[in-house]
A = this chain, B = another copy of it.
C-alpha cells in the first residue's frame, strides 16, 4: 500500500475507509490481494447495478476486443454504436413510448450534466438555473454550480453563481405546501429571481442522503415547469438504469423530462459512458458544439448493448428490484424499531436505501463496523448522517440477507442497542 501513500494525491477518499488492496470481483463480491472476500452494498456508487463483471456482458466484451473491434471512436459511426442505439430504442425508448434524441457527451455523469445545462441555456437564451437543496450533479464547474454540498462547492475557488436553490420535496417535513416558494418567486415580477432556463432534479437524491421525491411532487414539478416554460432536466445518473426499479427513475411519475442525463450503470460493466437524452424539438446543438475525446467508448457500447438485452427484455429485473427493495425496507424498519438508544429513520426507494441517524456520527461508525465484517457501504447526506446501501440489483437473496444481517449487527454494536 506504500505506493498509494507515496504517490497518490491526498484527494483520495474511499481507500481511507477501506484500507485494503482489491484485486478481483464477481457479482456482489470483491476479493482483496490477500484473498479476503467482501460483500458489496455499494456497487461502484451506483455504477455496477448488474454487479461486478457480469458474465453476460463479459463474454461479448472480450469477443469484441479479441476481434479488434474499434475501441476509441469519438463520434464516428461504428458498428458497436449503431447496435447500441438500435437496442436502446428497442429495449428502452420504444416500450415506454419515449421519443428522445441521444447525445454521447463524454463518458461521465458530469459531462452529461454539463451538456444538459449548456443545451438548456442555448434553447432558452437564459442563463439562470434552478437546483434543489442537497442536490448532487458532479464536480466540474458547471455541474458543481448546481450541487448543494458546501465542502464540494468550496473547491470551486470561484463564486458559483447562475443557480438558485429551491427546497426539495419534504424539506420542511410536509409542513409547507409543495412549490409554495418556487411558484411565488416565479409569479412575482419583483422577486429578484433570475428567470430560469431549466430546473435540474434527481428523483431520489443519492449523495444528498437517499431522499426520494414523492410521485405527486415530481408531477407537480413537471407541471410547474410546463406552465412557466422552464425546461425540466432529470439527472438520472445514479437513480436511472433500474436502481429504483424501472429503467428510468421518473417513470413512476409518468412525466417526460425535456432532457435526461444517464451514466454510471449504462455500460453495465463499470466502463465510462454517458448519455444525454433530448426531446427532438430541443436537439438544437450545432455539429461539434459540445464534444469530448472519449465520447465514443466502443467497448462500453458493447457491454451496454449486452446489458440492455440481458436485463431489459422483460420486467423481471424491475420486479426483482422492487421486491428486494421492499425486503431491505422491512429489515431496516426492524433495525429502526430495535434501536432504542439512537434515533434512526428509514429512507429510500427501490434498491437505493438508507438509514438516517439523528446523531450523524453513528452512520460512519456503522459503515466502519460493517467493513470490519467485510461489508462495503458508504455514508451520504450533508452531514454524512445516512448509511446508504446500493447493492447490485442482481444480488442473490442469500447475499442480501447476509448483508442485512451484518448491518443489523453493526448497528447494534455501534449503538449498543
Residues of A near any B CB (own CB < 8 A): 1, 3-4, 7-16, 18-26, 30, 33, 44-48, 52-53, 58, 61-62, 65-79, 81-82, 85-86, 88-89, 101-104, 106-111, 114, 117-118, 120-122, 127-128, 131-135, 138-143, 145-165, 167, 171-172, 176, 180-181, 184-185, 188-195, 197, 208-209, 237, 263-264, 269-272, 276, 278, 283-294, 297, 299, 381-383
Q: List 25 A-B contacts (CB under 8 A).
A: A9-B101, A10-B101, A10-B283, A11-B286, A15-B75, A22-B78, A30-B70, A47-B294, A58-B65, A106-B110, A107-B108, A108-B292, A114-B140, A121-B156, A128-B159, A133-B184, A138-B292, A139-B292, A140-B142, A163-B192, A176-B176, A176-B180, A181-B181, A189-B383, A272-B294
Report if A103-B11 is in contact (Cβ < 8 Å); known contacts: A70-B30, A111-B140, A293-B47: yes
* A71 and B53 contact, Cβ closer than 8 Å, known pairs A20-B77, A65-B62, A161-B159: yes
In the A-B complex, list the 9 residue pairs whose CB atoms are closest, starting with the nearest. A121-B157, A72-B270, A190-B382, A141-B142, A161-B161, A11-B285, A13-B288, A9-B103, A148-B192
Q: Is the CB of A61 within 8 A of B65?
A: yes
Of the residues B9, B79, B192, contact of A283 by C-beta under 8 Å: B9
Report the separation of the CA atoms of residues A270 and B11 in the bound assembly, to the nearest whole angstrom.
25
Q: Is the CB of B139 within 8 A of A9?
A: no
Contact of A293 among B85, B101, B109, B291 (CB under 8 A): B109
From B4, B139, B141, B269, give the contact of A145 (CB < 8 A): B141
When distances are taken between beta carbons in the complex, the residues of chain B under 8 Å from A20 are 77
* Cα distance A287–B9 in the bound complex, in angstroms: 9
* CB proximity of A256 to chain B, nearest CB, Å: 17
